[in-house]
Structure 1
Amino acid sequence: MSASLFNEIICDPQNNYYSVENGVLYNKEKTSIIMCFQRNFTSFIMPETVETVWRAVFAGHIIENITFSSKLRAISESCFQESHIVNVTIPDSVKSIGDSAFYHCKYLNSVVIGNGITIIPAKCFAESNISNIIFNDKITTIKGSAFLNCINLKYMKLPKTLTNIEGNVFPHDVVLDFPEDAPFSFDNQGLLYNSSKSIIYMRFSDLEHYDIPSTVSIISNGLFSSLGKLKSINFTSNSSLTTILDGAFWGCINLEYIDFPNTLTYIGNHAFRDCNSLKTIHFPDSLIAINVYAFQSCRKLTEVHFGRNIKSIGMTFYACGSLETVIFVGSDGTDLGKNSFIYCSKLKTIILRNITKIQSNCFWGCTSLQSIEIPDTIQIIGSNVFINSGIENITFFGKSFNIYYSVSSI
């Protein structure tokens, strides 16, 4: 429920659970702020009894200044998102801040982080106009996209306690001041790693080509996202890469080809979404799972070959309008997830070997798909698998299995 739907709230003084003061809804003891219905004030002094502020309480408000309670322990998710807050000093009493707490705060200028905080959460200050931040000396982790697209943030002095940085944390043009002996390293390509170079956290460059060291096992969230200049990625023959995380190459519109190493096991959500120059993909036998939307709207993708050990794919190839051929050669059972090939309107050939499940809407809108052979390994076919497709012939092999609607409605 949004507080913006109400002009006023009145609470019976005899209510045993809630109280209202100046348009702010509290629990009875005033230890929690639950909602703020007064959207016109620019300053707010928090009662000293308050310990927690609930999700999105001041989101979208014109509040500019706030005095926090000295007993405040938690600022919840999206609490000040898109508000007019200008300067923030987090008191030492606060132990946790929720994701996106100050997301898209276009008036935010400076932030001081109190001594109780050890983790800066995901998207905490992303898309804000913050220009200055002072960390305490207890911060250990900065989570994904915490300062993404903070265009006025040009310099950051990082605490000596910092040991973990997740993907796409900082704006790409920020100057980072690391303490001596910090467990991070840069290379001459402008890539930021952990000390062992097993994780790439960020890039601070816009190159056409990158060489990924053999030590790298994880490519972090959004690492190369929206890098329109990127044309190629090179992995060494002895690569250690196992994981490509969410959105890692999203929007790399000129990436034409990628030769995945034989160590890769997982590709995350949206990892190659809108990579409009990819044409053919050969997945290695090591690959086990691809998550949802991983190759969504790859407009020139025509052919996909899976390796022998793929176990599951999600809504992976959504709206790949040029995709014509898909080949599975798996030796173990594979689960085709919901909407896996939805709206692949040019898909004509799909070879399904050792498939165990075809989930709902898998081939919905595949108008060029006229025939398909279902292998004897199949166990389940979900609903609406071939609805709005061009399917005319389905050949079933092997023993019985479960179909979750009538065959005539396929």
Structure 2
Amino acid sequence: MKTFRAYFLCISLLFCCSLCMLTSCGGDGKTKSVNFPNSLANMVTMTDNGSKLYLKITSDATCEVVPNPEGAYSGEITIPSEVNCSGTPYTVSSIGDRAFYGCADLSAVSIPATVQWIGQKAFGECGKLSRVVIPDGVREICFRTFYMCTELESVSLPPSVQEIGKEAFMGCKKLVNLPVPENLRIVGISAFQDCASINAMEFPEEMTDLGDDALHGCTSLVFVTLPKNMLKLGKWAFAGCKNLLVADIPEGVVAVGDCAFRDCSNLKEVKLPSSMRTVGRMAFRDCPSLKSISVAAAEPPILQDNSFVNSEKVPLFVPKSKAAIYRSSTHWKSFASIRENLN
């Protein structure tokens, strides 16, 4: 990894002309003058063998990494935990919005434990980035933080992460497995959409929200464990997960969103809990391998348009003494085989 130890450049907040004079302060005690445009006000830049990292002072004691105003970052970058400018130490506490966005030649980045916030699109479209370790203390992976990082294979998320935002990992087609933090509560819309290499996902029991399209197009997904505290499964949440084998909806979930499991071509079994009230439009459409549907609800849930197909071929298993109710239900009577073998 490259280190940024050669010298530090401090930019004044006050400017009198179109260019400002910067003082470089380094570990070797040398100083030199550098001219930068006024647009770089309130920034600190560090260089090492010609490479630069730009930081913006955010308080009397902190600073954050910002985009390179001279072009894209590249190669391997180590973000320091602290910088010193004219004798004043600043803790690097955040990575700003779009800090590394579109840095196509950024191959590796080391994030210090002092970082508590990573902004929107911070690493989006970094096409060569393969591995990232997020430090403990970061609570949210924001909108498009790793969007379309097509070579990203591994991300380590700390227990502090409670939310994975909209499209956070969308299009990370080489991301294989992502251990989910135990304190995760919210997975946003399209958070993992088109992550075609993920083969398993186990969400913590305390998670409450799984957004629309959350794992849409995760074509290698075989196994998923859903949380028990979630009320609704989002629209298109697992659509196109062609290798998913079982849809086991946990107790407590009351609704399955429209097209939630549409085009899961290898799905063989569906299990709906006693809490289930509504199955959305085309929720299980285009699931030609379906062999069994089990419903634990004593009261037949409402099926919206084309929730299931091939009802004349797939057996339906219902609670004891409830077969007659299901056979007379407007929503379930099309099933040719309704059997009582659930306790």
TM-score, normalised to structure 1's length? 0.52
Alignment partner, residue 298 of structure 1: 195
| Contact 2:63/2:93, CA 8 A, preserved across alignment | no
SS in structure 1 of the partner of residue 178 of structure 2: strand
Q: Deviations over 1:34-76 (max 9, x none)?
A: xxxxxxxxxxxxxxxxxxxxxxxxxxxxxxxxxxxxxxxxxxx
- Aligned counterparts of 1:214 and 1:322: Cα–Cα separation in 2: 33
| Contact 2:56/2:64, CA 8 A, preserved across alignment | no
Q: Deviations over 1:249-300 (max 9, x none)?
A: 1121222122221111111121111111112233122111111111111122
SS in structure 1 of the partner of residue 78 of structure 2: coil
Question: CA offset at residue 182 of structure 1?
Answer: 9.1
- Aligned counterparts of 1:401 and 1:214: Cα–Cα separation in 2: 52
| Contact 1:292/1:316, CA 8 A, preserved across alignment | yes
- Aligned counterparts of 2:92 and 2:277: Cα–Cα separation in 1: 43
Alignment partner, residue 157 of structure 1: 39
**Which amino acid is the alignment partner of residue 324 of structure 1?**
V
Per chain length, whose mean CA-contact separation is higher, i.e. which structure has more relative contact order (CA < 8 Å, sep 6+)?
2
Question: CA offset at residue 334 of structure 1?
Answer: 4.2
- Aligned counterparts of 2:53 and 2:108: Cα–Cα separation in 1: 22
Alignment partner, residue 225 of structure 1: 124
Alignment partner, residue 33 of structure 1: none
**Of 207, 217, 238, the match for 1:341:** 238
- Aligned counterparts of 1:179 and 1:307: Cα–Cα separation in 2: 35
- Aligned counterparts of 2:284 and 2:198: Cα–Cα separation in 1: 21
Q: Deviations over 1:54-101 (max 9, x none)?
A: xxxxxxxxxxxxxxxxxxxxxxxxxxxxxxxxxxxxxxxxxxxxxxxx
Q: Which runs of 5+ in 2 are unaligned?
A: 1-17, 19-35, 44-50, 67-76, 83-89, 310-343
1:252 aligns with 2:131: no
1:271 aligns with 2:168: yes
Alignment partner, residue 372 of structure 1: 270
| Contact 1:258/1:281, CA 8 A, preserved across alignment | yes
> 1:177/1:347 Cα in 2 relative to 1: closer, same or farther (>3 Å)?
closer
- Aligned counterparts of 1:231 and 1:375: Cα–Cα separation in 2: 39
> 1:300/1:409 Cα in 2 relative to 1: closer, same or farther (>3 Å)?
closer
* RMSD of Structure 2 on Structure 1 (CA): 3.6
Alignment partner, residue 333 of structure 2: none
Alignment partner, residue 356 of structure 1: 254
- State percent identity of aligned pairs: 23
- Aligned counterparts of 2:228 and 2:166: Cα–Cα separation in 1: 25
**Of 210, 214, 231, the match for 2:109:** 210
**Of 389, 395, 399, the match for 2:287:** 389
Question: CA offset at residue 353 of structure 1?
Answer: 2.3
| Contact 1:250/1:270, CA 8 A, preserved across alignment | yes
> 1:227/1:198 Cα in 2 relative to 1: closer, same or farther (>3 Å)?
same
Where does 1:105-254 land on structure 2 (aligned, <5 Å)?
Answer: 157-159=39-41, 184-186=63-65, 189-190=78-79, 197-201=92-96, 202-203=99-100, 207-236=106-135, 239-254=136-151
Question: CA offset at residue 181 of structure 1?
Answer: 6.1
Question: CA offset at residue 307 of structure 1?
Answer: 1.2
Q: Which runs of 5+ in 1 are unaligned?
A: 1-133, 135-153, 163-171
| Contact 2:147/2:171, CA 8 A, preserved across alignment | yes
- Aligned counterparts of 1:175 and 1:408: Cα–Cα separation in 2: 53
Q: Deviations over 1:140-194 (max 9, x none)?
A: xxxxxxxxxxxxxx9562456x9xxxxxxxxx9897897996952459625899x
- Aligned counterparts of 1:285 and 1:177: Cα–Cα separation in 2: 33
| Contact 1:310/1:334, CA 8 A, preserved across alignment | no
| Contact 2:282/2:306, CA 8 A, preserved across alignment | no
> 1:363/1:353 Cα in 2 relative to 1: closer, same or farther (>3 Å)?
same
TM-score, normalised to structure 2's length? 0.61
> 1:175/1:230 Cα in 2 relative to 1: closer, same or farther (>3 Å)?
closer
SS in structure 1 of the partner of residue 224 of structure 2: strand
